[in-house]
Amino acid sequence: MPHHQMKHATLFKLFVITSCAFATASGYAQHIEIQLQGQRFAQHQAASPQQSVLAVPSTLNIKLGQHTQFKQVSSTLYPGEIEFRFLTLGDAQGARVYDLLGWRAGLEADTLDGKSARELRAEAFFFDPQLLLSTAKDIQVMDTPTELQAQYQFQTFIDQASRPATMVIDKQTRTVVSARSANLSYLYSSNTQGEQKSPMLTVKLGENIVAQWNSVKLSPLAANSTTEFVAPTGYQEKSAAGALRVENLGANTYRINGSASGYHMHFVVGERSIAVFDAPIFPNEMAQIKKLIDASAPGKAISHIIFSHTHRDHIGGSAQLVQEETKIWGGKDAKQAIQRQLGDTLNAISTEVTAEQSIDLGGRIIRVIPAPSSHASDMLIAYDAESKTLFQGDFFMMPEVGPAPVGFPVNRELQEKLTSVAIQPERIVSVHGRVGTWQDLEQTVLRFVQQFNAKSSTP
């Protein structure tokens, strides 16, 4: 639907086009389950540097309970079978987010304020056109472009988060064909398989498709299902990040902690220069981080930035770190992703490492080893034998708070790679999560194998 044509349309008289059939449906809307299956689209997260957009297999399950109670379980599956699975539970006053797999946020539950909670809940109503129409408040007719008037009627309304929104009604079928609120637009269609016609939904942010739900199922939720909305136990309030600071891991190996994004960055200082491992995006914090690096290594320059892989969250902050003599090292084909994301200047100082190489920082040798994985084909790992620290990205993560989680196939890939190059690190660090150990890695792999075996032995 040409929703952009609505921008210049003006509101005029009140005209109720909604079907009476939905007028009594608002009670129904409070006890409803919505199940979506399809894919989300992520920029700069693909398994191959050649590819800019990744289709992420996703599911979303939403339950709308009494009053404004809601529950949402989302699952997204990234390359390397890395699954994000989060539970959000709350109402119009606020919500909490729980990491059900315990590897990303661990036991720390995040809090959503009232506004974010209301907006998240409100989005659920956009997932089904009938639900949207039956619950939309203050519907008013607006100008419909002349060429579309025969078939469509444009309308404004107020959504469940009290935001102004618009929808396009097919005059003949009296159904919503598209809707928009904030920056998101929703396009309703259907998927025909044989005799079966099932609803489909495309979600766009501006002109970009962010999600394609190939299956949208609505079902009533039992009115007495109060246990649905009980918070899981064992979680704790997310701890404050604290001030932006440097942690000395020993032997001139450092870690940046306390960033607003929760990302970490690492660097090793030799007699001559500094090597940085991954450069995540730190909005508004990079100037201070540069000062912290400078204070840890006075007068020394960053000679190398090593990219564990070229996913956006691992390289997006590089431009602000690069100095005159800085070289960037990435894995096989990394330059394509560097060119695309970081541009000519940074690509010009980038090299692809396709066989093991060493960096001499002055009395300090760092091994840089290609380790293509199912998460990213351009993975590199780096090892500093002096501090026994392994630098890696997304191969293995420990949450900031919580036990070693059940692992993913990539954890085992890392373990096998390290064994093959005879590295047994004391600590394993990454942009995400706390400092892990070799034992933590073994534990996650063990738990992964146990879960896999348990699943395959169940008939």
Q: Which residues bind Zn ion (CB under 5 A)?
A: 311, 394
In the bound state with Zn ion, the residue whose beta carbon lies nearer, of 179 and 414, is: 414
CB of 310 to Zn ion, least distance (A): 9
Closer to Zn ion at the Cβ: 63 or 314? 314
Cα separation values, 162 from 21, 112, 124, 167, Å: 23, 17, 14, 15
For the bound state, the minimum distance from the C-beta of residue 311 to Zn ion, rounded and expressed in Å, comes to: 4
CB of 361 to Zn ion, least distance (A): 26
For Zn ion, the nearest residue by Cβ is 311
CB of 408 to Zn ion, least distance (A): 12
Cβ proximity to Zn ion, 123 vs 278, nearer residue: 278
Between 125 and 395, name the residue whose CB sits nearer to Zn ion. 395
- Min separation Cβ 309 and Zn ion, Å: 6
Residue 34 or 353: which CB sits closer to Zn ion?
A: 353
Where residue 57 falls (left for φ over 0; alpha for ψ -120 to 50; beta otherwise) is beta
Q: Residue 369 Cβ, how far from Zn ion at the closest point, in Å?
A: 17
CB of 317 to Zn ion, least distance (A): 15
168 versus 337: smaller Cβ distance to Zn ion: 337
Q: Which is nearer to Zn ion, 311 or 427 (CB)?
A: 311
